[in-house]
Chain A
Amino acid sequence: MREITIDHLDDIARGAAILGTGGGGDPYIGRLLASSAVRDHGPVGLVPLDEVGDDAVVLPVAMMGAPTVMVEKLPSAEQVGLAARTLATYLGKELTHIACAEAGGVNSLIPVVAAAQLGLPLVDADGMGRAFPELQMVLPTLYGIRATPMSIADEKGNRGVLDTVDNHWAERLARSATIDMGCSAMISNYAMSGTQARESLVPGTLSLCAELGSAVRQARAEHADPVARVVERLGGRKLFTGKVVDVARRTVTGFARGEAKLSGMDGDAGSEMVLKFQNEHLVAERDGVPQASVPDLICCLDRESGEAVTTEGLRYGQRVTVIAAPADPRWHTPEGIELAGPRYFGYDIDPVGVPA
């Protein structure tokens, strides 16, 4: 895939929902925005990470806010372009490439919108290789690339640039601004050179989303098991198949935390799995024993269709298969674990990795 056309967007959206590990929001609106942007401006060039020149000016863009708001107050294509242009102006640089901050959900598609709107190529890479809830949780943080200066834009044309002392402050101040902007803002941050992008981003993300989406689509057409295809493509393993029997949610400091209990079916009958989540799935326990945890990917898929089930969409009675897949190895360094390991999210366990 050297360019993204309208025909690729369904697959990318479906695959992005899987890498969203339960979070990342429903990519439906992102898919619609991307297809309208591609229809208006033409296909988006997709550049492999290793072909990005040293002096390139790469700006990741993303949506920040509540997915529930985004489906009601629809974002505009201009809003995404505005965020990127605002940051480029502040930096005094001519931007050359758009990138994804995270792979997963709507934020795999927002950069397509920006790239189409600005007529720029998109780098086939992202800052996480999955979805995480907070903006400092990207691999560029491990390489000393600062989150700020970052830009933030709303649909009214309000723009802001934050320049903060560290990435945690960026998260905090951007979150406040997002709320004042009506909880659905577009941001651009982690501006980087081509050299920095090649060293710190996870390559091949958009291609991976498209491949996952197409694997699920094709498996269904062939009456094969879509979940098995996803596991194979991600190099992961099936953890559990079961029925959702209880979902408990609560909002803690703005995040939806909760637990879902699954009662085993098929080969897992008689066992129970508990999924602990904060927007994304963080820990999967089988009969009280952790089987996988952040930073590795825990994805909850519909057992039959292979479609990702978001943590907001989890409900009693769903038949799901939980799979785990290894995160980018850099997440397993001590610095990576400190940034996005189970303890950061309040679980007193060591990370449980999935063998790659």
Chain B
Amino acid sequence: MRIGIDVGGTNTDAVLLDGRQVLASIKTSTTEDVTSGIVAAINGLQQQRAFDPAAVQAVMIGTTHFINALVEAHRLAPTAAVRLSLPAGASLPPMVDWPQRLVDAVSGRSYLVHGGHEFDGRHIAELDESELRKAAEDMGAHGVRSVAITSVFSPVNAEFEARAAEIIAAQLPDVAISLSHEIGRIGLLERENATVINAALRELAAHIVDGLAASVSGAGITAPLYLSQNDGTLMDVDFARRYPVATFASGPTNSMRGAAVLSGLDTCAVVDVGGTTSDVGVLRQGFPREATTDVSVAGIRTNFRMPDVLSIGIGGGSRVRGGAGDVTVGPDSVGYELTSQALVFGGDTLTATDIAVAAGRAEIGDPSLVAHLDRDLVRAALEKIAADVSDVVERMRTSAEPLPVVAVGGGSVLLPDELADAGKVHRPENYAVANAIGAAIAQIGGEVDRVYAIEPGRREAVVEEAKQEAVDRAIAAGASPASVGIVDFDEVPIPYLPGNATRIRVKAVGDLQLGA
């Protein structure tokens, strides 16, 4: 048995699974301290279906906590960014393009020192260890508690980042250190930004992870705890302490992964309809397609792995305006005030939920309060919702092949049974807790993303080498060797570089090795 928990901004959802069978599921309110909400959720499962805590083999938690902490600039550690690049890069220092509010929130300090690699592995400059020691001294004097180290071309060669970490750790043994090559890809500013964000969240991560672990063990569960990552794979708690940034987009990812399991479709579009928005993503071989462009988080450009999700402002709380001929739905929403403002709850705002109830698609609130609605308006509003969602699904499709659509989330009653172009809409059971299920069935992954100089006739060998390394990394992270397979492969030649330089990305994924 395993337990999956999704801690969202509003709800904490939990499921108890045996294999892929849902034994119990519950929705509770997220609490300010998070942990008591989790305790309540586990208790709720226990009440629904009594289980022996010792029989639980793993607990998987997905949380939006860390991204919220960044957006709200809340409890971020005083952080220093160290960049190994001089004499390059001095004109654009770390955090150059950050909102000032966030620079202040992390008390951001930057240090530029000599080092870094050229694209082909030569050194831009030798690492100047005395410079680094001086920087460490200054950090200590200014109360820096977490350090982000970024070296030019570290995804190709990480030796300078590792050495700089040793030097800083020797002088400041209590600071947390984050290394950019473990966090982002080629693209220095974006990778550095992601690393600084990670560093700023390290203290909070330790605190939250301790809290999560305590609430799980408080329920008598001794099984290991995992957190779900942006790409739909799991990390253990030790990894989560070190890489909180990897949990940033786990919310939509968990919903998508859960939708795949519930529907039995591993290649599909997933529409997750919430209160304010509908998020549309695409699953390929069971995993969310990743965004290939840079992703902005709280106004900061980053390049870590994020799912490719398109959102539109249509959800259960969307305001409905106009008449049958000119109806609009959203993008504004009554949000959490749905239960006071929507007509079915005695309010005076026409919302998408009222439309669904009037059409007989859902039983929410008091249906008699929407019985008077003009039938043509109800039909037009539903058609408008279907057309807008269908358009987003269509935009996310990547081939002419029809892509099945799976609808999940509480607001999915708004969608019709058929969408133009996409055909039948699949509505799996337990759709409302798809995210917790997605967390529970997450797998373990390993990734390689590097620039290779491919000598003539060596392409096959290089590709094999990269694939093997990704597989090895997945196994090292806890995947059961027999289950590991390659789920993503991408090869892009880099223009203007000699030696047929090619950027290769490979991702391997396998099942978590349970109770070994």
Contact = CB atoms under 8 A, between A and B. Distances in A.
Interface string A84-105: 0000000000000000000000
A73 B152 CA distance: 6
A29 interface: yes
Contacts of B125: 156
Given A72-B153, A256-B493, A315 B292 contact: yes
Nearest to A304: B395
Interface string A162-187: 00000000000000001100110000
A270 to B, nearest CB: 12
Interface residues of B, number: 41
Interface residues of A, number: 41
Contacts of A279: 495
Q: Which of B96, B118, B397 has the most CB of A within 10 A?
A: B118
B495 A251 contact: yes
A73 B91 contact: no
B143 interface: no
B85 A73 contact: yes
Contact of A32 (B96, B119, B152, B500): B96
A254 interface: yes
Contact of B293 (A179, A250, A313): A313
Interface string B70-91: 0000000000000001011111
Given A37-B91, A182-B118, A313-B293, A68 B186 contact: yes
B188 A74 contact: yes
Given A75-B88, A76-B88, A78-B91, A319 B395 contact: yes
A254 B395 contact: no
A182 B92 contact: no
Contacts of A65: 496
A29 B87 contact: no
A24 to B, nearest CB: 12
* Interface-central residue, B88, B399, B400, B496, by most chain A CB under 10 Å: B496
B88 A155 contact: yes
A69 B395 contact: no
B116 interface: yes
Interface in A28-57: 28-29, 32-33, 36-37
Interface string B296-309: 00000100000000
A36 B495 contact: no
A346 interface: no
A317 interface: yes
Interface string B457-500: 00000000000000000000000000000000000111111101
Contact of B497 (A69, A78, A157, A312): A69
A254 B495 contact: yes
B96 A36 contact: yes
Given A157-B87, A183-B496, A256-B495, A74 B119 contact: no
Contacts of A316: 398-399
Question: What secondary structure prevails in chain B residues at the interface with A?
Answer: loop
Contacts of B372: none
B399 A73 contact: no
Contacts of B301: 28
Contacts of A75: 88, 91
B495 A74 contact: no
A345 interface: no
A75 B92 CA distance: 8
A66 B292 contact: no
A307 to B, nearest CB: 10
Given A32-B97, A66-B497, A315-B292, A72 B152 contact: yes
B153 A68 contact: no
A255 interface: yes
B91 A36 contact: yes
Contacts of A66: 119, 494-497
B71 to A, nearest CB: 23
A32 B193 CA distance: 15
Interface string B229-241: 0000000000000
B430 interface: no
A29 to B, nearest CB: 7
Contacts of B85: 73-74
B495 A67 contact: yes
Contacts of A68: 119, 186, 494-497, 503
B262 interface: no
Contacts of A157: 87
B91 A245 contact: no
A71 interface: yes
Interface string A146-160: 000000000111000
B144 to A, nearest CB: 23
User: Counting chain A CB atoms within 10 Å of each CB, which of B153, B494, B500, B503 scores highest?
Assistant: B494
B396 interface: yes
A263 B397 CA distance: 13
Contacts of B292: 313, 315
B502 interface: yes
Contact of A69 (B96, B119, B396): B119
B153 A256 contact: no
A154 to B, nearest CB: 9
Most buried by B among A37, A75, A251: A251
Contacts of B397: 317
A77 interface: yes
B92 A74 contact: yes
A249 interface: yes
Contact of B500 (A28, A36, A251): A251
A155 B118 CA distance: 12
B87 A76 contact: yes
B496 A73 contact: no
A155 B88 CA distance: 5
A76 B89 contact: yes
B122 interface: yes
A326 to B, nearest CB: 26
B360 interface: no
Given A72-B119, A73-B116, A76-B87, A156 B494 contact: no
B378 interface: no
Interface in B116-168: 116, 118-119, 122, 124-125, 152-153
B495 A182 contact: no
Contacts of A32: 92, 96-97, 189
Interface in B495-513: 495-498, 500-503
Given A73-B88, A74-B189, A317-B397, A156 B124 contact: yes
A74 B89 contact: yes
21 contacts: A66-B494, A66-B497, A67-B496, A69-B497, A73-B118, A74-B88, A74-B188, A76-B88, A76-B89, A156-B125, A179-B498, A182-B118, A182-B124, A249-B492, A251-B497, A251-B500, A254-B498, A255-B496, A312-B492, A315-B292, A316-B398
Interface of B: 85, 87-92, 96-97, 116, 118-119, 122, 124-125, 152-153, 186-189, 292-293, 301, 395-400, 492-498, 500-503
Given A65-B496, A74-B89, 16 more contacts: A66-B119, A68-B496, A69-B119, A69-B496, A71-B189, A72-B188, A73-B152, A74-B85, A155-B87, A156-B88, A157-B87, A182-B122, A245-B399, A251-B493, A255-B496, A315-B292
